[in-house]
Every structure is written in structure tokens, then in C-alpha cells.
Structure 1
Amino acid sequence: MAKSKEISVEQRLRALYDLQLIDSRIDEIRNVRGELPLEVSDLEDEVTGLKTRLEKLEDNLTSIDAQISDKKNLIEEAKTLIKKYSEQQQNVRNNREFNSLTKEVEYQELEIELAEKHIREFKAQIEQKKEVIEKTKEHTKERETHLKHKKGELDAILAETEKEEEALLKKSDDYKKKIEDRLVKAYNRIRTNVKNGLAVVPIERGASGGSYFTIPPQVQMEIASRKKIITDEHSGRILVDEALAEEQKEKMEKLFKKL
């Protein structure tokens, strides 16, 4: 549905170019931020991942400590049994009983040796994990410092530009309401498909802005007459004459200074 059937082609061209200038200003603001928002988000994810890893490593240490404690208890139990079997050997009635108790003692001694071996292995794991934990803590601290710095950069840029961006976004919506739907859709489609988001460009030195393709003199005259909307056959951009572009730039510069 057309929003302003009565407006002339020239008024449509001016409104479209004004819209382009507003949206290009929004693009500039976002380009200043660049990859910072994404970088901050990635750093936050990285720090969260490192902290989760630290928690798992420390939980693992607790688990190994518990296993060492279990092995020490097993050793104490084995020693108690060895003492018990050794005392029983003093009161045996035959060699069969003596040999049976000797096997029990030998079995408990093997249990002690195995438990001590496991304890040594667990202690080696603890030392290794403590080293990993220390390095992970250092890395986490370094990434947190970097994150704080990047957040500070982003917050400073946002503080400078957020208010202006919000005002410009509102202006962009307001200007779109001045233009019929089909033109807004065409503008958005072109803007998405071309370099730098430039959907409406002026003629510069006989070529469309940002292009090396010359516009024929007859077409340049048609563009300057402002009687119909003409697009560049090479890029698909909507074309406006240089004089109109300069007039609208001056007008929009004044508007931007007020925001």
C-alpha cells in the first residue's frame, strides 16, 4: 500500500537519499564498534569455560584425595589383619593351618604394596593436576583482565554512540514511513546485496557513486530531470544527481549535529 501517493518523484528521491544518509551514519557507528561486541562475547564464553574447567580439576583433586584416604585405610586394615594372622600362627595345631595363615599374611602384604603403589600414582596425578590448575588460573586471570579491558572499550564507545544510534534508528523508521512500501522493500533489497550498504548513490564524474561504469549522457540528463527513479544497470543501485545529493547532505548534516 502506498503511503504518500501525492508526493513527486523528486520528493521520493530526496526521501530515499535522506534515508540512505541516515542508514549510512548508523553503519559508521556500528563500524566503529566493529567486532568488539562479538569479541567481548567470545571472551566471556572463554572465561566461563576456563572457570568450569578449574572447578572440574579441583573436584578431581578432591576425588583423588578421597581415593588416597581409602587406600590408607585399606593399608591400616591389612596391617591389622597381618598382626592378627601372625598371632594366630603361634597357636596353630598343624602345618596346614600355619601355611593357610602364611598365605593370608602374604596376600595382605601384597594388598599393602598395591595400595602404596596406587597412592604414589595418585600423588603424582595430584602434582600434575596442581600444575595444570596453576596454569589455568594464570590463563583465566589474563583472559579476565583482557575481557575487562575490552568491555571498557565497548562501554566507552556505547556511551558515546548509543544515544545517537537510537535517535538515528527512529529517524530511519520515520523516513521509511514517508516512502511507499514497494520502494522501501526495493531499497532494503539493494542495500543488502551491494557493497557498503549503499542502495542510493549520486552521479560522480559521470559514473554512479563507487562504480567505474560510466553513465551515458542521456541517462544522466534523465536522472537530473528527477522525473523517474532510475537504477544503475550494473549494480542495481538507485541513482540521484549530484546537486540533489549535495543539498540533502547539507540538510542531513544539520540534523545529525542536533542528535
Structure 2
Amino acid sequence: MATKKELSVEDKLRAIYDLQLIDSRIDEIRNVRGELPLEVEDLEDEVAGLSTRSEKLKNELEVIEEQIKVKKNAIDEHKEAIKKYTKQQESVRNNREYNSLTKEIEFQELEIQLAEKQIKEMKASIEHKKEVIANSKEKLELKSAHLKHKKSELDAIMAETQKEEEFLSEKSAEYQAQIEERLLTAYKRIRSSVRNGLAVVSIERGASAGSFFTIPPQTQVEIASRKKIITDEHSGRILVDSALAQEEREKMEKLFSKF
């Protein structure tokens, strides 16, 4: 904390502007990636969801096919029963026994009809599920190909920028450590409230960079004297003079040119 207090106002302005340049460069790197990480994440979720759905449908198919086998076996058993009861009818002693066997045969025939109806329904369900699986497979292949493309795109960008981003993040932390807490808090607050993340701007042609509001001449003189930290009354941004900004930009360009 002692080191922070020893900084002159000019040194504070240089440090806070350098921090802004570093953070803006990190913003640029992240903007290049844009929505890609989220796109990749969403595609991964979609692919996982489609894979799970396909597996579930395949399992359901296996269950239905097993049920069809059970029904077919039951039909065979009912047919055997009909043969048995028909054979028994040949040796009955009275009408009551004959009629009883006839009812058994009719019951077995009804069971066969019911089983055949259920098999027909299950086969229709299988065809429908196979159609859904085929569509899901096609969609899965398309999504997987799209995911592969997006991942390779993201990997290429990451490979290109990750080291630079890590290096700049370390530098950002170093500069933050030099700046007094109150000023750093103000910087972070302003940065989070403005669209382009610019909390510190230079005076360009009599106005703060990115603003149409003219800075009064007396205020411009005060900013150029570097004796106190002055903010733009319209945007709340911290202001630095163009000469200081140019010097720090040249210094930071050397840092950025390492990558």
C-alpha cells in the first residue's frame, strides 16, 4: 500500500491509462472469439441430447421387438391349444363337453386375434421409431459436423490468442496492484457501465475521445498539467491529455508487439 501512495498524480494517470490499454487489448481478443465458446457449448449440449434420445429410442425398439417375440410365442401356444381342443372334441361323450371345448377354442382364437392386433400396432410403432431414429441420426450427423467445425475454429483462435491473453491478464494484475484502491474501484465501475469498456480516455480535438462534448479550455489546461485526476462531467470517464496518451500508447505497442 505504501508504494501506491508514493505515486505522483502523473504516474497514477500513466498507470491507469496503461491499464486501460491492456484491458482494451484483452477485450479485443475476447471479441474475436465472440460468441464462439457459447456456440460450441450449445452445440455440445444439442449433440449430447440427440445421442441420448437416439439411444433411448434404440432401447425402446429392442423392448418392442422382444414383446413381439413374446406375442408370437403366445400365438403358437394358442394354436397348439386349438389343435388339442379340436382333437378332444372327436372323443367327447356329450354336448356339454363339446360346447365347453368349443368355447375354449373360441377363446384361443380371440387371444390370437388380440395378439395379432397388438403385433400389428407394435410393428407400426417400430416403423415410426425407425423413422424418428433416421431423422435424429441425420440431424446428429449435421450437428456433429457443425460442432467439429466450430471447435476447430475456436481452437485455432485460442491457440493464436491464449498466450497473449494470459500474458496481458498478468500485466493487468500488475498494473492494478500499483493503483490505489479508490481509483481502481472507480476505474472498474466506469468500465462496467460503459458499452466499449473505456474508463480512461484522452482529449482529442478539445473533446474526450468518443464524446461530442467539448472540454472547457481551462479544464484542458488542468488535465495537461497532470496535477489532479479529472473526470468528464458528461460520461464520468477519467481524462488524460493527448501527449501522455500518445507516449503510453507507444510504450504499450512495444509490449503488444511481442505477440
TM exceeds 0.5?
A: yes
1:69 maps to which residue?
A: 69
1:99 maps to which residue?
A: 99
- The answer to whether 1:177 aligns with 2:209 is no
Identity of aligned residues (%): 71
Between the aligned partners of 1:19 and 1:160, the Cα distance in structure 2 is: 22
Secondary structure of 2:201's partner? strand
Shift of 1:85: 1.2
TM-score, with length taken from structure 1: 0.97
- The answer to whether the Cα contact below 8 Å between 1:3 and 1:177 also exists between their aligned partners in 2 is no
Shift of 1:96: 1.6
Between the aligned partners of 2:173 and 2:245, the Cα distance in structure 1 is: 20
**Number of equivalent positions:** 259
TM-score, with length taken from structure 2: 0.97
1:52 maps to which residue?
A: 52
2:250 maps to which residue?
A: 250
Secondary structure of 1:133's partner? helix
Flag structure 2 segments of 5+ consecutive residues without an equivalent.
none
- The answer to whether the Cα contact below 8 Å between 1:37 and 1:154 also exists between their aligned partners in 2 is yes
Shift of 1:82: 0.8
Between the aligned partners of 2:179 and 2:2, the Cα distance in structure 1 is: 8
Shift of 1:215: 1.6
The one-letter amino acid paired with 1:50 is: L
- The answer to whether 1:208 aligns with 2:218 is no
Between the aligned partners of 1:122 and 1:195, the Cα distance in structure 2 is: 59
In the TM superposition, what whole-angstrom CA distance separates every residue of 1:2-25 from its partner, at most 9, and x where no partner exists? Answer: 642111101100000000000000
Shift of 1:258: 2.2
1:161 maps to which residue?
A: 161
Between the aligned partners of 2:231 and 2:2, the Cα distance in structure 1 is: 20
- The answer to whether the Cα contact below 8 Å between 1:3 and 1:180 also exists between their aligned partners in 2 is no
In the TM superposition, what whole-angstrom CA distance separates every residue of 1:161-186 from its partner, at most 9, and x where no partner exists? Answer: 11111100000001111111111111
Shift of 1:219: 1.4
Between the aligned partners of 2:220 and 2:195, the Cα distance in structure 1 is: 22
1:81 maps to which residue?
A: 81
The one-letter amino acid paired with 1:213 is: F
- The answer to whether 1:186 aligns with 2:186 is yes
The one-letter amino acid paired with 1:88 is: Q
Decide which moves more: 126-135 or 146-155.
126-135
Between the aligned partners of 2:225 and 2:190, the Cα distance in structure 1 is: 23
1:33 maps to which residue?
A: 33
Shift of 1:234: 1.7
In the TM superposition, what whole-angstrom CA distance separates every residue of 1:8-59 from its partner, at most 9, and x where no partner exists? Answer: 1011000000000000000000000111111111111111111001100100
Between the aligned partners of 1:151 and 1:3, the Cα distance in structure 2 is: 45
1:108 maps to which residue?
A: 108
Deviant stretches of 4+, over 3 Å: none
Between the aligned partners of 1:184 and 1:3, the Cα distance in structure 2 is: 15
